[in-house]
Amino acid sequence: AGPKEGVQDVDAVLKSTMAWAEDHVVRLGLCPHAKGVVQEGRMRTMVQPEVETEEDARRLFLAEADRLVSTDEDSLPTTLLVLPNLFRDDFEGWNDFTVRLEDDLDEGGELEHVGDDVLIAAFHPRFEFGGLYGEEQVLSYEKRAPYPMVNLLRTAAIDRGIEQGITAQTIADHNEKVLLEEGLAEVERTFKDLTGS
C-alpha cells in the first residue's frame, strides 16, 4: 500500500519534472550537459512514488547505476530518479542520504564498483545553501526541483566537459550570474507554475 499523504500521480510528477528540466535547467543553462539529452528525449526518467525508505532508494540507485554503466552511452546518456515520497519535506534527511550515497561511490564504499563510472547530482524542493539572505536566496534554486531527485551522470561525460573547460567552478559562476539576473520573484513564479501550487 502506498503512503496516505504521499504523491502517487506518476503522470503529474513526470510532467512537472520535464517542465522543470526544460523551463528551469535548460532555459537558464544551469547544467551544460542537460540541453541535448533533455531536448532529444534521451534522459531516462524514472518516477518512483513507491520508494519511501533509504534502503529502497539505494536498491533502485544501484540497479539504475548498473544499467547505466552496462549500456552504450549514445543509447543511455543519463538517468534521473524522481523520488517524490522520499524525504520530501525533510531536506536534512535527504542531504544526509545523498552524502552517504556519494561516500559509498568512493573507493572502499559499498558502491565503489560503479563509482569510477557514475557521479550524482541531487536536487530537493527545500534545498538551501546556508547564509543566503534577500535576493541571494535565489542561488538555492540551482539545486531545487519540484521533487527529490538524483541524477546519475557518467563520469566520462563530465571528464570530456572538463577537457573543454567546463568545470564545477565555471558552472557555479554561470549559475550564480543567471539566477541573480533572473531574480528571486521570477524563479519562485516559475516553480509555482511547475507544481501548480
Say what the pLDDT of residue 179 is.
96
Say what the pLDDT of residue 194 is.
83
Angle at alpha carbon of residue 190, lines to 195 and 51, rounded to 5°: 35
From 160, 186, 161, select the one nearest 171 (Cα to Cα): 161
Residue 129 and residue 141: Cα distance in Å, rounded?
Answer: 9
**Tens digit of pLDDT at every position of the chain (197 positions):** 344 467 788 999 999 999 999 999 999 989 887 877 887 778 999 999 999 999 999 999 999 999 999 998 888 899 999 999 999 999 999 999 999 999 988 888 888 888 788 999 999 999 999 888 889 999 999 999 999 999 999 888 887 778 887 788 889 999 999 999 999 999 999 998 887 65
Place of cell 571528464: 159
Say what the pLDDT of residue 197 is.
56
Residue 45 in 3-state DSSP? Answer: strand
Question: How much is the pTM?
Answer: 0.90
The DSSP symbol for 94 reads H
Q: In which region does residue 132 sit, left (phi positive, over 0), alpha (psi from -120 to 50) or beta (all else)?
A: beta
- Which cell numbers in the block locate residue 191? 516553480
- Which cell numbers in the block locate residue 179? 539566477
Place of cell 549559475: 175
Say what the pLDDT of residue 89 is.
93
- Which cell numbers in the block locate residue 96? 544526509
Q: Tell me, what amino acid is at 191?
A: F
